[in-house]
Amino acid sequence: AQSVTQLGSHVSVSEGALVLLRCNYSSSVPPYLFWYVQYPNQGLQLLLKYTSAATLVKGINGFEAEFKKSETSFHLTKPSAHMSDAAEYFCAVSSPRGYSTLTFGKGTMLLVSP
Amino acid sequence: GAGVSQSPSNKVTEKGKDVELRCDPISGHTALYWYRQSLGQGLEFLIYFQGNSAPDKSGLPSDRFSAERTGGSVSTLTIQRTQQEDSAVYLCASSLGSPRGNTEAFFGQGTRLTVV
C-alpha cells in the first residue's frame, strides 16, 4: 500500500522568498514520486518526477525536489518565489512493480504575496 | 487532439438524475484514470483502465458509480441517482501505462459536477 502526506494545506511566502512544500510518502517498495501543479480551473501539470535515477530532480519553472530515502521525503523547493507560482501543488506516488495508479496527497495551496 | 479532453466542462443536475461524463485520452495512451477532486479531500482515485486488462475499480465509492472504456480509447463515467455529495470536479488522466509506473499522467481540465 502507498500513501502520501503533504504537511500544510496552505503555505504563504513573499515574492522572492524560498518556497518549501513538504511531502512524505509511505511505500512497501522504493517508489516513483511526482509533483504536479494545478492552476485555478485547470487540470494538473507535471512539475517533476523521481524514477530512481538522480536523487535531486530538477523540474519546470525553477522547481526541484530531493528524494531522501532515510526520511521518506520528497520535498519541493524553489529558491525565489514568483507571483505566478501561486497555485495548488500535489505530491503523488506510484509503484515500480507492475501497472499501478498514482496516489496523491491532499495538496498544498501556495500563496505568494508581493 | 493534443491533450486529454473532457466533456462537459460543467454539469448541473438535479438530485436523483443520472449523469455521464466523457473523457477522450491522448491517442496511443493505454492507461486511463478517473479521479474525483472535492474541497479539502485532494484527489480521490476512482478507477483505472490499462489496455485490455480488467479495470481496477477499487476506488469507486458506491455501486451508483460505473465506468467503461470503449475500444481502448474513449471512457465514460456514469453516476446513477446522483446525490449532493457527488458534487465535485471529476478529472480524467491518461498515460503510456508503463508496467514500471514511471510514466507521466496527463490530465484533462475536468468536469465540474454540481448536484442541486
| Cβ within 8 Å, pair A102-B45 | yes
DSSP one-letter string for A60-82? GGG-EEEEEGGGTEEEEEESS--
pLDDT digits (tens, 9 = 90+) for A35-51: 999 998 788 999 999 98
Residue B35 pLDDT class (50, 70, 90 cuts): very high
How many angstroms separate the CA of residue A13 from the nearest CA in chain B? 21
| Cβ within 8 Å, pair A106-B42 | yes
> Helices (H) and strands (E) in chain A — how many of each?
0, 12
CB contact, 8 Å: A7 with chain B?
no
| Cβ within 8 Å, pair A44-B50 | no
How many angstroms separate the CA of residue B4 from the nearest CA in chain A? 10
CB contact, 8 Å: B48 with chain A?
yes
As a whole-number percent, the residues of chain A with pLDDT over 90 amount to: 72
pLDDT digits (tens, 9 = 90+) for B83-109: 999 999 999 999 887 766 677 889 999
Separation CA B102–CA B114 (nearest Å): 34
* Residue indicated by cell numbers 438524475: B17
Q: Comparing A10 with B100, which gets the higher pLDDT?
A: A10
Query: What is the H or E stretch that residue A47 is in?
Result: strand A44-50
Residue in chain A closest to B5 (alpha carbons) equals: A43
CB contact, 8 Å: B104 with chain A?
yes
Separation CA A106–CA A88 (nearest Å): 10
Contacts of A98 in chain B (CB under 8 A): 99, 101
The pLDDT of residue B6: 97
Cell of A60: 519546470
State the average pLDDT for chain A: 91
The pLDDT of residue A96: 61
The pLDDT of residue A100: 67
Judge whether residue B19 has pLDDT over 90.
yes
Separation CA A104–CA A86 (nearest Å): 19
How many angstroms separate the CA of residue A113 from the nearest CA in chain B? 23
Question: Are the CB atoms for A86 and A80 separated by under 8 Å?
Answer: no
Contacts of A101 in chain B (CB under 8 A): 33, 45, 48, 56, 59
| Cβ within 8 Å, pair A46-B108 | no
Cell of A80: 525565489
How many angstroms separate the CA of residue A40 from the nearest CA in chain B? 10
Helices (H), chain B: none
Residue B1 pLDDT class (50, 70, 90 cuts): low
